């Protein structure tokens, strides 16, 4: 099934620019814009949405402040200032529990919380402060390449966030993995609104007061844009929106990003939530946001601004105009203003996007096309090379993450060859499909020589029948040979798959597991899960064809995934059991002590090897001998 990109009338950026130039309004004024990336995301590299918008707005003459609140939050968490605040909150939390105990008997978890709080002495907090600062120093220096020290630092981050959680309980703050839980449901607008006002659990209120509010006071922006990538970021984003609206009511607040686009059909009905912000940008944001910036504070209406949903005195409205960007006309991302030295890495890793959309766009499980109104587009390879060289020189880094959804085979060939010819000497990572057109040793020789170190590759299933159901247009022979070539030429492959695609049987799932086991010598790491029925993916849109039935709970107005049942094959619970079986029985060499992708990338780039035994948990004695022999 080819992705349907027809989401409204399309208008070219050139026409929009022409109309803008002919309007004689106050929109020619230079505006002050603050762009915010909210928690929670691992702080290892900048997220590309802010630098992309910044470059576009600055090229139009506007003043832009980039604020990676997520990064600054974690830098603050692991500091003396924040942990001393935690220490001051401990008596307050104990007092809260004491008051609860007067009305009822404390639960077992509340008693455990009491005991843990009592153990948080001044000495304990002082120890954590020292360890937290040392851990940040490790991940920001060459010490990161000592696997023992890196593992210690990651464990310290967990230890510190566990301690922070005690004073915000029943919230649970976790890093890594990024699983902070405010004890509210993110798929219900009513619960998000409750979480925003909950001063006990909502750590983001303190983050606003310490990080974002002082920046707003200092910079005095006219407009604030918040980029929401993951649904989990709705808690922090809506908290920020509410507090900005309360304390800086004159500032226009707009939200955008992947999650906003996916929620576009329900945002107008979530009126209480929409009251926290003024507008929302859907799909691609450059032209839409620029038009909004130049319309705010003028007599110009918002109705003709593309990709926009907005609120005024008469209600919530959605523009009938949509717009897709011309990739050739977009400037390279602008990272100026982001504290690159504060990211949790020893060298900057810069994201870069050469394409938009997916060149294949037919996988039946995938809904990535929801982010776009137009089909697959790419910059020319010479422009790509020129911009990478520019970023390398400007920011003094040789490490890049090409964040394309799936790097096209033809462009992959051209890019690797050009990187070699231009002697770029960079290390890079990207995302790809298993493609028959790449089963050529020269391709992988070039990939290695060009600096390609780490590939995330969509495996999905080892069953030919299921691959056909998914319309993956690949075979296990292609997958096997690709893994062999990747391994032979020293390019780390991270194989991603899942169980429970509609129609998949237990026998199919066993094929997937056995295939990986049979090829374990060429598979470096894995990332598996179970099939999620997204409201926007092709399966949900053709439920009868796939023999599924799903239930929409009207109270779960912000739900992006649905529970479903199947006529044949593995159901949701069956898939979970299969996944658990795979977790318990798969090859132990795939279990890494450090699973953060940027760290694995840096290790491969540094040590130039297929095998990183320092990052692996201890395997069996027999496997240990085999691995040492390979090294």
Q: Sheet with 223-227: list strands edge to edge.
A: 63-68, 32-37, 223-227, 252-256, 279-281, 308-312, 315-318
Distance (Å, rounded) from C-alpha 108 to C-alpha 342? 40
CA 107-109-111 angle, to 5 degrees, is 70
Angle between helices 286-295 and 49-59 in degrees, nearest 10: 50
**Residue 44, number of CB atoms within 10 A of its CB:** 19
Contact 159, 134 (CB under 8 A): no
Distance (Å, rounded) from C-alpha 550 to C-alpha 533? 9
Q: Which of 290, 294, 215, 283 is nearest to 247 (CA)?
A: 215
Mean pLDDT, residues 485-501: 97
CA dist list (Å): 327 to 293, 332, 359, 429, 462: 21, 10, 14, 21, 35
Distance (Å, rounded) from C-alpha 306 to C-alpha 268? 17
Is 50 exceeded by the pLDDT of residue 452? yes
Q: What are phi and psi of 387, to 5 degrees?
A: -75, -35
Contact 437, 412 (CB under 8 A): no
Q: Which of 556, 531, 552 is nearest to 184 (CA)?
A: 556
- Residue intervals in the chain for CATH 3.80.30.20: 347-630
DSSP class per residue in 470-538: HT----HHHHHHHHHHHHHTT-EEEEEEEE--TT--HHHHHHHHHHHHHTTTT--EEEEEE--EETTSH
CA dist list (Å): 146 to 214, 308, 398, 558, 626: 37, 48, 21, 43, 23
Per-residue pLDDT, 22: 41
Per-residue pLDDT, 2: 56
When mean pLDDT is compared across 127-136, 252-261, 370-379, 577-586, the lowest value belongs to: 370-379
Homologous superfamily in CATH for domain 29-71+198-316: Cobalamin-binding domain (3.40.50.280)
CA 303 to centroid of chain Cα atoms = 31
Q: pLDDT, tens digit, for every residue of 63-117?
A: 999 999 999 999 999 999 999 999 999 999 999 999 999 999 999 999 999 999 9
**Burial degree of 11 (CB within 10 A; 0-12, 13-18, 19+):** middle
Mean pLDDT, residues 303-312: 95
Mean pLDDT, residues 329-346: 98
Q: What percent of the chain clears pLDDT 90, i.e. is strictly above it?
A: 89
- Residue intervals in the chain for CATH 3.40.50.280: 29-71+198-316
Distance (Å, rounded) from C-alpha 152 to C-alpha 148? 6
pLDDT band at 232 (very low <50, low <70, confident <90, very high): very high
* Burial state string for 118-127 with b = 16 or more CB within 10 A and e = fewer than 16: eebeeeebee
Mean pLDDT, residues 490-508: 97
pLDDT band at 470 (very low <50, low <70, confident <90, very high): very high
Structure tokens at 608: 């130039």
The pTM for the full model equals 0.94
Per-residue pLDDT, 47: 97
**Burial degree of 115 (CB within 10 A; 0-12, 13-18, 19+):** exposed
**Residue 493, number of CB atoms within 10 A of its CB:** 23
Three-state DSSP class for residue 456 = strand
Distance (Å, rounded) from C-alpha 282 to C-alpha 626? 52
pLDDT band at 626 (very low <50, low <70, confident <90, very high): low
Structure tokens at 257: 């990003």
Q: Write down the mean pLDDT value for the chain.
A: 93
Per-residue pLDDT, 623: 52
pLDDT band at 16 (very low <50, low <70, confident <90, very high): low
**Annotation: CATH topology of 347-630:** pyruvate-formate lyase- activating enzyme (3.80.30)
Q: What are phi and psi of 609, to 5 degrees?
A: -140, 155
Is 70 exceeded by the pLDDT of residue 17? no
**Burial degree of 442 (CB within 10 A; 0-12, 13-18, 19+):** exposed
């Amino acid at each position: 099934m080819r992705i349907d990109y027809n989401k409204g009338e399309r208008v070219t950026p050139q026409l929009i620019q022409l109309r803008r130039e002919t309007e004689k309004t106050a929109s020619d004024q230079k505006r002050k814009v603050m762009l915010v990336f909210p928690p929670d995301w691992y702080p290892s590299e900048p997220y590309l949405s802010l630098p992309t918008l910044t470059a576009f707005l600055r090229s139009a003459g506007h003043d832009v402040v980039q604020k990676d609140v997520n990064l600054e939050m974690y830098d603050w968490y692991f500091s003396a200032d924040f942990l001393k605040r935690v220490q001051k909150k401990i008596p307050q939390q104990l007092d809260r529990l004491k008051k609860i105990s007067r009305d009822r008997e404390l639960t077992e978890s509340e008693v455990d919380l009491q005991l843990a709080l009592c153990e948080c002495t001044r000495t304990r907090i002082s120890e954590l402060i020292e360890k937290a600062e040392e851990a940040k120093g490790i991940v920001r220096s060459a010490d990161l390449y000592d696997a023992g020290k890196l593992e210690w630092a990651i464990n310290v981050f967990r230890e510190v966030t566990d301690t922070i959680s005690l004073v915000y309980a029943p919230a649970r703050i976790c890093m890594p993995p990024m699983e902070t839980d405010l004890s509210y449901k993110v798929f219900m607008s009513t619960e998000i609104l409750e979480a925003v006002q909950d001063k006990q659990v909502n750590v983001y209120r303190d983050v606003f007061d310490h990080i974002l509010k002082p920046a707003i006071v200092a910079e005095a922006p006219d407009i604030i844009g918040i980029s929401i990538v993951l649904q989990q970021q709705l808690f922090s984003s809506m908290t920020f929106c509410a507090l900005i609206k309360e304390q800086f009511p004159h500032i226009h607040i707009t939200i955008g990003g992947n999650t906003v686009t996916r929620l576009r059909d329900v945002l107008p009905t979530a009126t209480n939530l929409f009251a926290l912000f003024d507008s929302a940008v859907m799909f691609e944001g450059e032209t839409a946001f620029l038009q909004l910036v130049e319309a705010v504070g003028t007599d110009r209406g918002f109705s003709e601004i593309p990709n926009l949903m907005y609120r005024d005195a008469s209600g919530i409205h959605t523009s009938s105009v949509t717009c897709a960007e011309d990739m050739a006309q977009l400037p390279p991302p602008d990272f100026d203003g982001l504290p690159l030295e504060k990211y949790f890495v020893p060298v900057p890793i810069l994201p870069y996007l050469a394409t938009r959309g997916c060149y294949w766009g037919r996988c039946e499980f995938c809904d990535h096309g929801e982010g776009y109104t137009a089909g697959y587009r790419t910059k020319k390879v010479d422009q790509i090379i020129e911009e990478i060289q520019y970023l390398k020189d400007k920011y003094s880094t040789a490490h890049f993450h090409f964040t394309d959804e799936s790097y096209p085979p033809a462009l992959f060939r051209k890019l690797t060859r050009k990187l070699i010819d231009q002697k770029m000497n960079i290390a890079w990572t990207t995302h790809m499909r298993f493609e028959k057109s790449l089963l050529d040793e020269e391709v992988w020789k070039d990939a290695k020589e060009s600096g390609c170190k780490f590939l995330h590759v969509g495996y999905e299933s080892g069953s030919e029948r299921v691959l056909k159901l998914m319309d993956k247009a690949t075979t296990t022979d292609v997958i096997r040979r690709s893994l062999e070539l990747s391994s032979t030429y020293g390019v780390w492959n991270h194989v991603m798959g899942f169980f429970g695609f509609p129609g998949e049987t237990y026998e199919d799932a066993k094929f997937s597991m056995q295939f990986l086991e049979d090829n374990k010598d060429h598979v470096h790491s894995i990332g598996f899960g179970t099939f999620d029925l997204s409201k926007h993916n092709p399966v949900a849109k053709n439920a009868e064809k796939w023999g599924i039935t799903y239930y929409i709970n009207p109270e779960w107005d912000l739900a992006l995934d649905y529970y479903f049942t199947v006529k044949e094959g593995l159901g949701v619970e069956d898939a979970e059991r299969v996944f658990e079986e795979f977790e318990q029985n798969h090859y132990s060499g795939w279990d890494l002590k450090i699973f953060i992708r940027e760290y694995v990338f840096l290790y491969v780039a540094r040590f130039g090897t297929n095998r990183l035994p320092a990052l692996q948990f201890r395997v069996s004695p027999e496997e240990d001998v085999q691995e040492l022999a390979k090294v």
